[in-house]
Structures are given as C-alpha cells and as structure tokens.
Amino acid sequence: MPTGAPTYELFYWPSIQGRGEFVRLTLEAAGVPYVDVARLSAEQGGGVQALAAILAKVDGGGPFFAPPVLRHGAVTLSQTAAILQYLGPRLGLVPDDEASRLQANHLQLTIADFVLETHDTHHPIASSLYYEDQKPEARRRSELFITSRIPKYLGYFERVLETNPAGGGRHAVGSALSYVDLSLFQVMAGLGYAFPRALSRISSRLSHLVALRDRVAAEPAIASYLASSRRLPFDLQGIFRHYPELDP
C-alpha cells in the first residue's frame, strides 16, 4: 500500500453549507482529494455520529466546541479561520510571506464575525429556538443589518480589495487567489441568496466585490464544484437564509 501524504478529512454537518462551506471551497479550489466525512454513510464511518465522535475526542487537540473540524494526519483542529490558516500554505492559497499570512488571518476572522452577525439576523434571540419563535426580533435585527452592518462590512472588504497594492483590485491579499477571496465569494453568494434586494441596492458601490464573486465562480475548479452534487444548495437551515419578510 502506498504511504502518501495524509488525506484531508472534513467533519461538518452533512446537509448544510454552513461554516463548513468555507473549508470545502478551499479544498475544492486546490483540487486536492478530501473526505467530507459526515456525508459518508454510517457504514462507511460517516454520518453525524462521526461528527459527535470527533468533537468529543480529547487526545490530539480536542475536545472541540463545534464543527467544522479538520483532521490531517496527526493534526486535528477546529474553528473555520484556524482551519483555513492551516490549509492556506499547504494548498498554495495564501502568499508565502508572514505579513500576508497575518493579513489573511485577520481578514478571515472579520469574515467570521460577519457570518455570525448574518446568522443572527434570523436567530437574534437564540439558536435553540425556531425562526418562527423569534420573527419580530428577526425583522427588527435584519432592518438594522441591512441599513448598517451590510454596508459597513462590505464597504470594508471593498476597500481592502481597492487598496491592496499587489492585488490590482482583484485579490484581498497578495496577487493571486487566496482562501480569503474564496470566502468573500461565499459571503457575496450567500448574501445574494438571503438578502437579494438589499444587496442589489448597494451593488453599484461594490464593484470589486461583485467582480471577485463572478471571477471566483468562473474559476474552473470552483465552477466544476458549484455544478456538482458536492455543493449543497442554499436553504432555510444554514447561515444564509432567504426569508422575504426580512429583505423587504
């Protein structure tokens, strides 16, 4: 049996994009083999029981609070931004120099903050309650999210693209595709699904982000992924949810 490099194993909820999607996009863009463990059947060692088992595992970095978790040989780690920080150099999806890597990490952490704020538009009171049990609060939070937070965060990332001296307006960090670009694609795609009206109203001020989204979607590896059954659809279970009443 050949003993090659260890396989990347992603542990994430098998039926939603969620935070795991930022990891999936990075692995797909690099074209490396990986296993989306919980999407395998229980007989193959998958299912949500595999997810529960890795979270509870205390040797090798755990226990972990929540998925996604990545296992790569002897290394196991959780938290989306930490996983991408680990994968970036190994997959050629972050520049080589330390300054760029620090920059990619703080940008990714800011994306993580924005993702959590986006999730809380439909769950402002508690993740443990149904959306239907917090609709008035969701309406109120979404209104301010649309008028204040989307413009603040996307305006910030637009400025990052504009001012990156090496990127020519095309890349958040350095002069080539990075995991931050892939994550910005996902944010723009997700907001376009969840808040299409709000996003279209400000898109003219986000020309770099809109172009980045379209360019990433057309990258051969990503286009192929998006057309495959590996790409789960946006729905009403993940982070980005389209409730028309929240996007008037």
Nearer Cβ to a second copy, position 71 or 232? 71
**Contacts with a second copy, residue ranges (CB under 8 A):** 58-61, 63-66, 74-75, 77-79, 81-82, 85-86, 99, 102-103, 105-106, 109-110, 112-113, 116, 120, 124-126, 128-129, 137, 140-141, 144-145, 148-149, 153, 156, 159-160, 163, 165
Nearer Cβ to a second copy, position 42 or 126? 126
Instruction: Kindly report the backbone phi and psi dihedral angles of residue 210, in degrees, each rounded to the nearest multiple of 5, phi listed first.
Output: -65, -45
The helix (H) or strand (E) run that includes residue 87 is helix 80-91
Nearer Cβ to a second copy, position 17 or 121? 121
Write down the least CB distance from residue 208 to a second copy, Å: 14
- Helix 179-194 / helix 98-122 crossing angle, nearest 10 deg: 20
Write down the least CB distance from residue 233 to a second copy, Å: 26
- Three-state DSSP state, 110: helix
Nearer Cβ to a second copy, position 162 or 235? 162
Q: Which CA distances in Å does 26 have to 141, 178, 180? A: 31, 8, 9
Nearer Cβ to a second copy, position 43 or 59? 59
- Residue 73 to residue 5: CA distance in whole angstroms: 8
Write down the least CB distance from residue 42 to a second copy, Å: 26
Q: Are 29 and 93 in contact (CB under 8 A)?
A: yes
Radius of gyration of the chain (CA): 18
Write down the least CB distance from residue 15 to a second copy, Å: 22
Q: Are 183 and 108 in contact (CB under 8 A)?
A: yes
Write down the least CB distance from residue 165 to a second copy, Å: 8
